């Protein structure tokens, strides 16, 4: 996948990437509890959100990826749009993962009538 011109190898069906993605989302949620939502502190809130988004990319893809994807400056729209693209990709790949799990479960629950016993 590509976000803001940066090519990222992302496979939600791979265990380590899946784990890192969920850890990153949990951290973003935790960080957003630190925002105040008040007009007097909007710049601080923007910094918290941008830093959190960049940290999420660093956690999933490696140190420095957040700045590559979101830029050195803390532009809220760039950071939020980049994170939204990643979450959208996760949702698309989650559908594939859910389908694979369903196929696996169906495979295991099929009746044994298909098995031919030797006599």
The arithmetic mean of pLDDT across residues 34-53, rounded, is 95
- The string of pLDDT tens digits covering residues 86-114 is 999 999 999 999 999 999 999 888 666 55
CA angle 86, 89, 91 (to 5 degrees): 110
pLDDT at 30: 97
Instruction: Confirm if 78 and 70 have CB atoms less than 8 A apart.
Output: yes
* Residue 26 to residues 10, 21, 42, 57, 96, Cα–Cα distance (Å): 18, 9, 22, 13, 22
Instruction: Confirm if 9 and 93 have CB atoms less than 8 A apart.
Output: no
Share of the chain above pLDDT 70, in %: 92
User: Is the confidence at residue 117, as pLDDT, over 80?
Assistant: no
Mean pLDDT of the chain, nearest integer: 93
- The string of pLDDT tens digits covering residues 46-64 is 999 999 999 999 999 999 9
Residue 119: pLDDT band with limits 50, 70, 90: low
Dist. CA 117–CA 119, nearest whole Å? 6
Instruction: Confirm if 56 and 28 have CB atoms less than 8 A apart.
Output: yes
């Amino acid at each position: 996948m590509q976000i803001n011109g940066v090519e990222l190898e992302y496979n939600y069906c791979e265990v380590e990437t899946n784990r890192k993605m969920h850890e990153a989302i949990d951290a973003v949620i935790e960080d957003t509890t630190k925002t105040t939502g008040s007009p007097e502190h909007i710049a601080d809130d923007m910094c918290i959100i941008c830093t959190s988004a960049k940290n999420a990319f660093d956690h999933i893809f490696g140190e420095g990826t957040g700045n590559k994807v979101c830029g050195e400056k803390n532009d809220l729209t760039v950071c939020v749009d980049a994170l939204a693209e990643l979450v959208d990709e996760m949702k698309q790949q989650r559908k594939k993962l859910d389908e694979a799990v369903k196929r696996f479960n169906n495979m295991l629950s099929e009746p044994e009538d298909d098995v031919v016993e030797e006599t």
